[in-house]
Structure 1
């Protein structure tokens, strides 16, 4: 994309529209070409202004943001960043928005928001920049899961699956887990997501996929057929203790600018599971996870990256590919099958 990023701000609050417009324009590379007070207004502004990115509130009159998002992604797919409330209901609606095709979300600032409006503004601008570089048409279609369901992903005791993702990862992780049989080894997941949303993300996945999914807690024992999501604003590591693989959850320094960090998780998996692990790096901006995945490969693990053309943002997979961290690349709908095949090799070699 050349030139400044053109944004349409959609929110029923005049004050929020003003705050978002001023915040987005602060560094000069983003220009707010218009604002809309409801989805009906937004529909006309999108036609007239052709923005690169839309920021969208969920709670609005005439038509709620989710219904509008669903229509927009069907009729005119474009990058959308949701501006969400940090509540249980808001988190549930945000997960649904990401399933419907929103690229990302940002939580509205509240009185207890760390860093206040300045931190919120920096996060919002970064999310909009990422959204502007996303390929919303690259999302694998719903029918692209394997035609023949995987019958097994069983592997020897001590085997482990590690998955990392950022922007676009909510839907990508869902598609991978939806194809994983319930006899698979434990799955550990680092998805860039703020505190307050990961518990709902895990709960939503648990409703939709064959494996059980929970938000990881410190010293939780890893069990076959279950997936563990790193809590927002915390790192997730794996350790071996008393002969068992366990989650370790901590709030130490950010790595690669993130907490949870994919690199932190992957490095721990490389140390603890070595050649008994398989790893996948999915859609996302930046380089988080590349070095950790390389450590996994060097420890003997099978590693795979989401291919260009199926990734919403081919950033993290590209970084991993360029440093030799991935054994192979594959479109999203084939990743579960390749992980299962690698696990089968572990079983036959045992």
Structure 2
């Protein structure tokens, strides 16, 4: 046995602290080294025990979890998994936690907490294991804000249009752990006449609506949850609704969104594999694909199928990933045309699209 993952549990509920401690201590590879019922106590325990992972509630006395998370990521960056009722009914709070640097989240049930957390025990320990190997970065002294928008000047975004583009182009994006901020980094740099962009981010039902709305407030393109049967339009990005499968289909000359209650694939629903397979089947050489940070291998096989069908593929490099699992697997399957740092992907994508636009203009 190697070194155990050391966890500090921060929650104002004695019952939740006890349950989480029990779940963690049952695992052979982790231990709960301390618990705290508020952030001020937690601050001292974190200094004392130097944990590998912190589980953090949102609503607590003396300082709420979001304020504490922001201070933690500025002063002592540590992998955090948010575990709170608020993350279920207040998805905007979850988005803020991920923006501040939380690795992932688990929504504890509103009622039947004991049974509910027991049912979620495998998910909890899986996410702690992922967090333990995640790369976390120090938050700047000025916390990020979603109050500004690309349309009102709050986020720098390109002004130059791509020019005349074939509406046949579709951009595919797949991501998991760490993906919400990585997807934002791509989309805020896309000009308003971008081809349609389709996105699968591993996320449960109830959270993708808030995720899409947050992106829409920051981007020049329009971002929304995908709706079954709608036409995929340039200048729009479509997010797979949590708890469904999302893929691209054809209706006559048009690409359409297909959203259904399909079975989990690679244990995921939505699954990147499902979306990317549709890219190989229906879009072929008119597709461009991007694999971003995430644990596991979801989408790697299908991304290779997209490449074999003529897609041009970008994969995020290890140094800029929160978790390098999905990009590593895509590279191992020979699916990558370019492996780039996150900040370089959008410029490379835009440059490739612009060169494609030039070729269209030259043919006319």
Q: Is the 8 A contact 1:138 1:310 kept in 2?
A: no
Q: Is the 8 A contact 1:192 1:258 kept in 2?
A: yes
- SS of the residue corresponding to residue 352 of structure 2 reads helix
The residue that corresponds to 1:133 in the other structure is: 133
Cα distance in structure 1, aligned partners of 2:350 and 2:328:
23
The residue that corresponds to 1:152 in the other structure is: 161
Q: TM-score if structure 1 supplies the norm length?
A: 0.93
Alignment of 1:108-127 (within 5 A): 108-111=108-111, 116-127=116-127
The residue that corresponds to 1:84 in the other structure is: 84
Range moving further from structure 2, 236-245 or 117-126? 117-126
Cα distance in structure 2, aligned partners of 1:284 and 1:316:
5
Gaps of 5+ in 1: none
Q: Is the 8 A contact 1:8 1:35 kept in 2?
A: yes
Counterpart among 196, 204, 221 of residue 206 in structure 2: 196
Whether 2:173 is the aligned partner of 1:163: answer yes
- Deviations 1:215-246, CA, capped at 9 Å, x for gaps: 11111211111111101111100001032111
- SS of the residue corresponding to residue 137 of structure 1 reads coil
The residue that corresponds to 1:71 in the other structure is: 71
The residue that corresponds to 1:13 in the other structure is: 13
Counterpart among 311, 314, 322 of residue 301 in structure 1: 311
- SS of the residue corresponding to residue 339 of structure 1 reads helix
Instruction: Call closer, same or farther: CA 1:92–1:348 in 2, change over 3 Å.
Output: same
Counterpart among 297, 311, 314 of residue 287 in structure 1: 297
- SS of the residue corresponding to residue 27 of structure 1 reads coil
Gaps of 5+ in 2: 145-154
- Deviations 1:258-293, CA, capped at 9 Å, x for gaps: 110001101101211111111100000000011111
**Alpha-carbon offset, residue 186 of structure 1:** 0.7
- SS of the residue corresponding to residue 60 of structure 1 reads coil
Equivalent residue pairs, number: 346
Q: Is the 8 A contact 1:109 1:120 kept in 2?
A: no
- SS of the residue corresponding to residue 102 of structure 1 reads coil
Cα distance in structure 2, aligned partners of 1:65 and 1:302:
42
Range moving further from structure 2, 89-98 or 66-75? 89-98
Q: TM-score if structure 2 supplies the norm length?
A: 0.90
Cα distance in structure 2, aligned partners of 1:86 and 1:160:
36
